[in-house]
């Protein structure tokens, strides 16, 4: 069938959009490479900023000691003073723990080598009822051109330890140890990058116990630089915008992020970065600070924000039709044999027409929450992101918790950053918001379908108090649509819930190709409103790029 497409074909990463093919077929498409879904088996607790990795409020930096030369001299000769070795920007770790050595021991071993690294004072580490000074020490041999010419040093008492990339291995450490190692590594890295004056090229001298560098010629001082970067959770109603970079692990998505530029506020950076990366405008008044996290790789500070996307106007015609349809529905609740015919065409608000069916059985909010017509389309800058798309709050909750009602995953791959990252904290806090009062329907999956071609039924689940939700049920083992209905009825009956049938049809689900086609009708229940079915499926299969509907076939 040749497509008479009202919306232009898209490339890159786009929000799934409805297309009309000869007036009888609707297609949702999002460009970019389809990725897949795997479960993440733990829920996400909300965290305070100091509990995030690479930050430790409990560590005493003792900044007043950095210029106290007498105190520093005494500390360096104290047998209790500790040191964190750093080699080639890597930190020393053994069995998942940071290796902290006595400074006098390390100094003695290096004295035998004929050179002494410059210690950097980090602060005071609490040990029992007293505090011990702790320093970072760059043990990379500065006499050699590169670390490739040398092997990492081995220290007495630390046999079996290895120097590791903290960015990769940090999450395997405790939060406090990861923070301390990152602090020391960051200062060592800064000193390595600041060996010569930016004004006259003269060598720089270490001052303030390693926290400042002074030009040996002009006398100008510089301090460790900090690169502010914004990371933002962008939402639109119950949807959140997540993106991925091509170099990331397969299926990994996260919040959008980027560096602030000269002459702009953090809030301005949020709006600019979202527009540059995903082509979406955020409401300036909605930008709110959430938390921050040091990210010393080499010197970033991730500043977390939440923001609302500027949603497209919801056509008033749909509000009117949905309200009138709901009034009719409320008067006939429980009638499972009523016809589901009737449809109307409305303007989507952006110059395109979309076939939006308002049927008996629809309640206020269904059209907006299911069809996602208020969601702005994501158009990625391929230099920034490989893909960006909207994920519904319910799908993320279910996929992350694997509680009752979780979606069938069909062996696919999806992941988020680990709990060490501020992105995970922002997403987790958002998922904990707007939790409705629990009801019996929470235990019933909204979508339960299989791979293959099969009969399906569109249902409304209700309780005696007016709570309800739409269900899509289908099975390759069902010979008749009524078999699907009866099986679902047996599932919900012990919970005191009722079912209302809104029609039926067929679904062709090709999980390997990430394709779903909804079509046909049911002799027993009439034709379901496949547009609503497709919208529900789009919520629960957010990584599918193509979901189609057609009124043809059986």
Report how far residue 550's alpha carbon sits from residue 357's, in angstroms, rounded to the nearest whole number: 13
Ranges of beta strands (E only) in 10-103 are: 17-21, 25-29, 82-87, 90-94, 97-98, 101-102
Three-state SS letters, 183-212: HHHHHHHHHHHCCECCCCCCEEEEEHHHCE
Report how far residue 528's alpha carbon sits from residue 339's, in angstroms, rounded to the nearest whole number: 9
What SS3 class is residue 89? coil
Say how many C-beta atoms besides its own lie within 10 A of residue 505's C-beta. Answer: 27
User: Token pair of 503, please?
Assistant: 């029609």
Residue the block writes with tokens 């100094």:
107
Q: Tell me the chain's radius of gyration from C-alpha atoms.
A: 30
User: Token pair of 25, please?
Assistant: 């077929």
Residue 455 is assigned to a ligand binding site: yes
- Helix, strand, coil share of the chain (percent; to 5): 25, 30, 45
Residue 509 annotated to the active site: no
Strands 546-550 and 25-29: antiparallel
Report how far residue 110's alpha carbon sits from residue 21's, in angstroms, rounded to the nearest whole number: 75
Q: Which residues of 519-548 are buried (b: 16+ CB within 10 A; e: fewer)?
A: bbbbebbbbbbbbbbbbbbbbbbbbbbbbb
Among the listed residues 481, 509, 517, 530, the single catalytic one is 481
* CA atoms within 13 A of residue 282's CA, in its CB half-sphere: 28
Closest residue by Cα to residue 181 from 164, 194, 157, 158: 164
First-to-last alpha carbon distance for the chain, in angstroms, is 18
Q: Please list the active-site residues.
A: 481
Question: Where is the binding site for substrate, in residues?
Answer: 455
Binding-site positions? 455
């Amino acid at each position: 069938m040749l497509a008479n497409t009202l919306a232009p074909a898209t490339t890159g990463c786009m929000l799934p959009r409805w297309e009309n093919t000869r007036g009888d077929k609707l297609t949702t498409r999002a460009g970019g490479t389809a990725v897949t879904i795997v479960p993440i088996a733990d829920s996400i607790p909300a965290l305070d900023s100091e509990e995030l990795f690479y930050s430790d409020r409990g560590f005493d930096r003792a900044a007043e000691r950095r210029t106290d030369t007498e105190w520093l001299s005494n500390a360096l000769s104290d047998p209790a003073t500790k040191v964190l070795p750093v080699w080639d920007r890597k930190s020393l770790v053994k069995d998942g723990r940071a290796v902290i050595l006595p400074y006098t021991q390390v100094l003695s071993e290096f004295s035998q080598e004929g050179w002494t690294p410059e210690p950097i004072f980090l602060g005071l580490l609490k040990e029992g009822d007293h505090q011990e000074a702790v320093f970072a020490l760059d043990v990379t041999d500065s006499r050699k051109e590169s670390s490739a010419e040398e092997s990492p040093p081995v220290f007495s008492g630390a046999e079996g330890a290895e120097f590791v990339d903290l960015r990769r291995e940090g999450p395997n450490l405790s939060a406090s140890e990861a923070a301390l190692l990152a602090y020391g590594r960051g200062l060592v890295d800064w000193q390595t990058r600041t060996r010569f004056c930016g004004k006259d090229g003269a060598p720089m001298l270490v001052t303030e116990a390693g926290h400042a560098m002074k030009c040996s010629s002009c006398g100008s001082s510089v301090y460790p630089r900090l690169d502010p970067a914004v990371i933002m959770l962008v939402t639109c109603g119950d949807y959140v915008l997540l993106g991925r970079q091509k170099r990331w692990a397969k299926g990994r998505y996260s919040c959008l992020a980027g560096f602030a530029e000269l002459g702009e506020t953090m809030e301005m950076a949020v709006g600019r970065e979202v527009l540059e990366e995903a082509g979406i405008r955020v409401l300036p008044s909605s930008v709110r600070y959430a938390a921050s996290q040091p990210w010393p790789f080499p010197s970033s500070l991730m500043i977390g924000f939440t923001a609302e996307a500027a949603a497209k106007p919801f056509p008033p015609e749909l509000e009117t039709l949905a309200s009138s349809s709901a009034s009719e529905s409320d008067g006939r609740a429980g009638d499972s044999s009523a016809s589901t015919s009737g449809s109307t065409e409305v303007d989507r608000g952006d110059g395109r027409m979309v076939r939006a069916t308002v049927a008996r059985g629809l309640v206020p909010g269904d059209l907006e929450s299911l069809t996602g017509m208020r969601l702005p389309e994501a158009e990625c800058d391929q230099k920034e992101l490989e893909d960006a798309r909207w994920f519904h709050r319910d799908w993320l909750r279910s996929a992350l918790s694997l509680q009752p009602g979780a979606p069938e995953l069909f062996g696919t791959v999806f992941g988020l950053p680990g709990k060490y990252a501020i992105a995970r904290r922002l997403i987790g806090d958002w998922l904990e918001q707007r939790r409705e009062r629990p009801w019996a329907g929470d235990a019933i999956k909204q979508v339960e379908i299989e791979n293959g071609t099969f009969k399906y039924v569109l249902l409304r689940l209700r309780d005696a108090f007016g709570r309800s939700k739409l269900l899509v049920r289908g099975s390759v083992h069902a010979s008749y649509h009524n078999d699907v209905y009866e099986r679902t009825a047996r599932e919900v009956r012990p919970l005191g819930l009722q079912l209302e049938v809104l029609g039926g049809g067929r679904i062709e689900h090709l999980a390997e190709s990430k394709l779903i086609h909804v079509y046909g009708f049911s002799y027993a229940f009439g034709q379901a409103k496949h547009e609503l079915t497709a919208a529900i499926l789009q919520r629960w299969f957010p990584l599918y790029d193509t979901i189609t509907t057609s009124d043809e076939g059986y």
